[in-house]
Structures are given as C-alpha cells and as structure tokens.
Structure 1
C-alpha cells in the first residue's frame, strides 16, 4: 500500500521497531489533544494508558517540533495543579486545492484546522489542456506558499481534489469526463513545477467533500454519504468515521449510476447517468430559455445558483418545477444508495446543498417511497453548510492530517529558535 493510501485510511502500527512505536505514540498524543482538548501531562498519561515519563518525553518532542505548547494550569485538579498541554495551531500547515470545471482554488489551514490563506480564480478548465490548468493551479499555490512564508510558517503537504477518477497510489487522474482529462499525471506535474519539498497527493473532489462533512466526534456523522454537485455529480462514503475509497480508490462515482436507460448522453460517453438528470446544467436547461444569461459559460456557477434561488423565492413557476424535478431524481438515486449502504445521513453538498431548501422535501419523499426498510432505514437527508468550499476544505483537512499521521514530518526546532518564538 502506498504512503498516499495509508494517509487516507489512517493505518495503525504495523511494525514493532521502537521508531514506529514512538511515531505512533506521538500521533496518538497529538490526536488526543485535538479531539479531547488540552490536559495536563498526568491526565494525558492516564487517558492514553502510558506512563508519565513516556508522556513527558513525547510532549517534549512535540514541543521541539512546534506542534504543542504549555497552556494554563489545569482547573479542578486535586492537589498541586499541573500545567495543561495544548495544540500549537501554527506549528504546521496543510494546503488543500481543487480543480473543477469553472475554477481552481487553494486553502491553507493550520494544525487546528483554521484557514489562514484562501485563493480562487475562475477559469474554464474544459477549454484548456491539462498543462495550462496546472499552470493556473501552480500560480495559486505559489501565492499560498508566499502567504505562509510571510507568517514564517512551514507547509507540510498539499492535497488536490479533482472532479474525476483518481489513482491514489500514483497521483494520476485516470479519467475526468467533465474536464476532458484522461491519464493525467497531476502529482508529477505539480512536483516538477513547484520545485518545493512538499508531500503531494491527488484525490477525488467529492470524496474530499465527504471528509469535510464527517465531523470528528459526532456519532451521527460516522456513517454518511455525501452527494456533491457542481457541473457533474460525485459522492463520498464515510464508514465508521473513515473515508471509504474502494479497492483501487474509485468508490463514490455516484453520478455515473445509470438511472434513466435510453436517457441523455453523459460526458462519460454513456446514456442515462444520474448526473444527466440532476446536474446543474440540466436544472438550468429546464428552468430557462436559450437566450437566458444563466446559460452563458461566462457566468460563475455561484452566481447562477444564487439567481435560481432568487427566482424560486419570487415564486417563478418554471424554476420551481425544474427544482422539484431535480429533487425527484436526487431522491431516486439516494433511495438506491440507501438500499445498498444504509447510511445514517445523506448530505447534499455543493450546488445541491445551495438549492436544498427547494428540493429537500422531494428527496425525502422519494427516499421514503424507494427504501425497502421501514422509516427509510433510519437514513435522513441533511444539507451541507459549506457551500462550494466543501471539497477544498476536505482537501486541506486531509493535507494537515498527514501531520497527525506522522508528527515527525515536522522538523525539530533548536532551543535557540524555541526561545526566540516563545
């Protein structure tokens, strides 16, 4: 299994050597601080089942790497209170990026997941060869790296989301119908252009959107499906709190389920795929005339969706009918997925989340009708609150997760540097 696949699946310890054990313990401690908050060394030792000397040594190393710091005295402690240990948010940074049909985007986050730099440019990627699209992305990434350099920050990893099938092991975009890409070595192209010592991996954008929606610690978000809509429709599966990638990393291509045999031809070359009846292009076609500005490729997707929502709110009958038809088809597909996977929640993301208030009832009705299990198997429909940023936020989350997987990726800082930055 490649390093990229391991980072997605958070593989546990597989070796017995001391270096591996220590890396695993560093990871365990760092995740514990993220998930359960600051605590004293004594409490960390008790919570993690490690002795106090080991925890003190681990904390010391994480401090040298700039990943944790001393906080306040622990409240409510019996006897002499210990000093709490907390995350140092600025100790490391991850960068997420997204290539979609109408835009490329980058987002940098710190160890706590807070955004520190966000860049976006509108570009019709379908009309450009992959190398030119990569040039646009590299320009954004260089700007993001410059933003981090201004903060004296060290980026560790870049994760790029693409609307297509991705070979995770090789950073290869196998096929992206809506981009017109096939067998594009995206990770290799980025490495050659960036010339920067960064870990680079590539993933499907809808899978990354699912990562963004899977809230750590929320039991209702441990088993979810995300249906992510922009020009195409993709999906992501989170099973027992972990992203499910499938045998070769191609799981989640919901948009190419055939739901309407003999229907419209899809960008993938087949007919009747789900995205041909629920994609934003189909909605706009049903809701507008040929000369409507919403059909112009020069109008940003966000603007188009905002206008559709405005027309619906104004009671435009044609827009409302089109929305109900899309909602019906979303529900038909969601019911099939629920019969197969029985998730706790199906999250409508991207453009589907933005129009969610108009289609949610239609989706739920089809779910109730089409799912064999009583009460739709306990599956409910939820709307994303992340808008069109879900995929890039998920990409940034995966990028910074590399540090939690292996804190030793961040170099130690000398005592002199620690004193200068404290």
Structure 2
C-alpha cells in the first residue's frame, strides 16, 4: 500500500499523518459537544460520521485531558441500555480577555465551559492618561486574572487584549485608536514586557471584533434557529462594529473592517475623535448623547464613575419622563436607525445586535432603529433582519477575548496534557 504522495506505511510522514488525523478528530468531537451540548458517544458517531470505536477512543482521551466529562444517562434512548452523555469539562482550562476603553479597563477569565472565574471592570479616564501609565494599570489587571486562574490550579490557554482601534492582529501593533489618542504603538510587546515575558500566548485584537464573537457564541442557538450572520454595534464614546458572516468573523483584506463609527453619514458639526466631521459616532456615540441630554457639570459625565452607574442615571431620568433625556434618546435613535439601515442593506444579517450602551438604553433606541430598517432597507420585511439587545453588556469584548484564547484548545486539544484523574495538566 502507498499513500497518494508515494510514501509507504512506516515512514515518518505516515506517523505524522496519523498524529494530525488524530488531532483533527479530537477537535471535531470537542467542538461538536461545545456547539450542540451533551451527547452520547453513539450520537456523536452518528452526527460526525466517525465510527463508534473511534469516537469511544477519542472521548476517552478528551476525558483524560480534562476537556470532557461523563454526564447523566441518555434518557432519549427508547430501547436498550441507556448511553452515558458526555459534556464539556475543562474547569481547570481557562482563557483571559482584557479590554482598554476610553473610560474603563476590564478583564475576564472563563473556563472551557464558559463559566466565569473572574470578571472585573474599573473606571479609568484612559483618554487623559499617557499610554505608559494606562498599560501599567492594564498589566496589573491582567496579572490579577492570571493569578485567579493559578489559584484554582488551572492551565491558561492564552490572553487576548482588546483595544478600540485599528489593530494588526499578527503583530499586535495598534495603528490608530482615535478616541484614546494613541497611534503606532506595539501593544503586544509593551504588555509582554510589563507581564515579564510570559510563556502563555498573548494576542491583541479590536474590541468590537471580540464583542461580535462573544455575541455570536451567545446567539449560536436561538428560539428562531441558529444565527450565522450578524452585525454587532457596540456603543461607548466611540462606536464600533463587528461582522460575522457565515459563522466567520469578517476582518477585511488588511484586518481593519468594522470601523462603522466613521461612516460619513452625519451632517458637518462636532469634530470626531479621528479629526474629521460627519462621522456616525458624532451623532450616536455616548458623548453625543450626554451632550444632548446633560449639562457640562452633570455627574453622568464624570469619567471617574463606572459607565454603568452613569447610564443608570440616564435610565432613571428616561423612566421618569424627563423631556430633555427622552428628546436626546429619540434623536440618537433616529441616527442609529439611519446608519443601521445602511449596514443592513449592505450586509443583510440575520440579526443586528445592540451592544455597549446601546444595549443598556435599548428600550428607547430600538423603536426608531427598527422603524428605519423597515423604511430604508430595500429588501422586503427589512431583509429578515431582527434587532436584539446583547445580554453581555460591557463584558462582551473581554468575554470574546477569553473565548479566542480558549479556541486554541478546541482547534488542538492535544495542547492540554493527559491526566488519569481527568484534570488538565
């Protein structure tokens, strides 16, 4: 017998092929359980097309690596002895996501099952600090999350850093973050130095992209069926967008997609953080709302307060029927609808997800947005697009960052060592 490239059994190449095939099949089984929930070995074999003996062997190895665990009996079997379900384990395998934004720093550590090990956000007026000071504080927050993973005896799959700007993911270079006032900064290398040249993988990405990945994971299965295409709008001082098309994050030719806040759709007026006028975020960003709804000395403008505290103040005023607040929300909602309809016309997503402050104030923003989609989207019934509010709030980017780090395990489960006790080594 010879392989298609002429190699014979017993060669080093054949052994490598077997290792690669085994790794791939482990990944197939692990991702299948992640995406579809607890499954019996027989069901996994039926679903994936792998034979039952192979699946039993793969599941046994994943259990040894602490990535799957035995669950309850399979009650769906009508005849014969009920099979045992297997489910995601991996409580000791964790990923960390951390975010820099205009007025806060945040971090989250998740285990392989998606359970939160640590989640923290601290108000910081980043826009008025120099990058070095901000990165010093950021590194302290990341180290706190890594310590929380270590304290539970966990294995860290990696750390993903989220920043609001143009990022070259392969190098970790931040090209421009207009609302931070940063440009041409090697965030990855600066953070590696501050973290003591760590051995775990460290990656830098755009915060809206990570938030979109978190929203996609959250909406992977809904009452209306699976979501394969979505646009996430994340609102803070700046406005970003993340696009998932056919289940894959759309990054663009050079990795700079999603800068929807700088679509030139607004009338010339207030200057955007990027130095231009007419950008969408000048009429829908949080700064725009606060300028319309509050006076300069209003506490909700204080960046030393947590952003959710500030938004709670706006919510109370809206619920009380404050005319100025409601007028500002209506105005932002109308502009949100104008830009949102453009995106729906171009991308035709299943779902338009409101994230960040748009999600918090969604009860007042959603109606004009949906009205604009009905009126301005050329496809019938708004192209079938639904508007939903993200349940992840301001944690979306850090959750997405932690998931990106954990994805390495789902791609290559063999990076986690075996253990007879089924705990990751």
Work out whether the TM-score is over 0.5: yes
Checking the alignment, whether the CA contact within 8 Å between 2:234 and 2:241 is kept in structure 1 is yes
Q: Are residues 419 and 235 of structure 1, via their aligned partners in 2, closer, same or farther at CA, if it must alter by over 3 Å?
A: closer
Counterpart for residue 390 of structure 2: 384
1:238 aligns with 2:244: yes
147-156 or 391-400, which deviates more: 391-400
* Residue of structure 2 in register with 1:286 after alignment: 292
Deviations 1:79-121 (A, max 9, x none): 3444333221314111111111111111111111111111222
2:156 counterpart of 1:155: yes
Structure 2 spans left out of the alignment, 5+ residues: 1-15
**Match of residue 350 from structure 2:** 344
Counterpart secondary structure, 2:91: helix
2:220 pairs with 212, 216, 219, which one? 216
Separation in 2, partners of 1:385, 1:370? 27
Change (3 A) 1:76 1:278: closer
How far off is 1:69 after superposition?
Answer: 2.4
**Given the two structures, how large is their TM-score scaled by the length of structure 2?**
0.90
In structure 2, what is the equivalent of residue 200 of structure 1? 202
Mapped to 2, the partners of 1:199 and 1:344 lie a distance apart of: 33
Structure 2 counterpart of 1:101:
102
Alpha-carbon distance between aligned partners in 1 of 2:24 and 2:87, rounded to the nearest angstrom: 19
**Corresponding pairs, count:** 403
What is the Cα deviation at residue 200 of structure 1?
1.3
How is 1:113-132 mapped onto 2 (pairs within 5 angstroms)? 113-132=114-133
1:128 offset after TM fit, Å? 2.1
Q: 2:64–2:422: 8 Å Cα contact kept in structure 1?
A: no
Tell me the C-alpha RMSD between the 2 structures. Answer: 2.0
Which residue is equivalent to 2:9? none
Quote the Cα distance in structure 2 between the aligned partners of 1:120 and 1:405. Answer: 30
Matched residue, 2:359 = 353
| Residues 197/328 of structure 1: CA separation in 2 closer, same or farther (3 Å cut) | same
Deviation at 1:136, TM superposition (A): 1.1
Q: Is the 8 A contact 1:68 1:91 kept in 2?
A: no
Residue 170 (str. 1) matches residue 174 (str. 2)? no
Distance in structure 1 (CA, Å) of the matches to 2:201 and 2:422:
29
Aligned match of 1:49: 49
After alignment, is 173-182 or 36-45 more displaced? 36-45
Q: Is 1:373 matched up with 2:379?
A: yes
Distance of 2:209 and 2:357 partners within structure 1:
16
Residue among 324, 344, 369 paired with 1:318: 324
Please list every run of 5 or more consecutive structure 1 residues that lacks an aligned counterpart in the other structure. 1-15
> In the TM superposition, what whole-angstrom CA distance separates every residue of 1:168-202 from its partner, at most 9, and x where no partner exists?
11111111101111122112222222232211111
Residue-by-residue CA offset, 1:360-412 (whole Å, 9 max, x unaligned): 11112222222222322222222222222122122222222221111122123
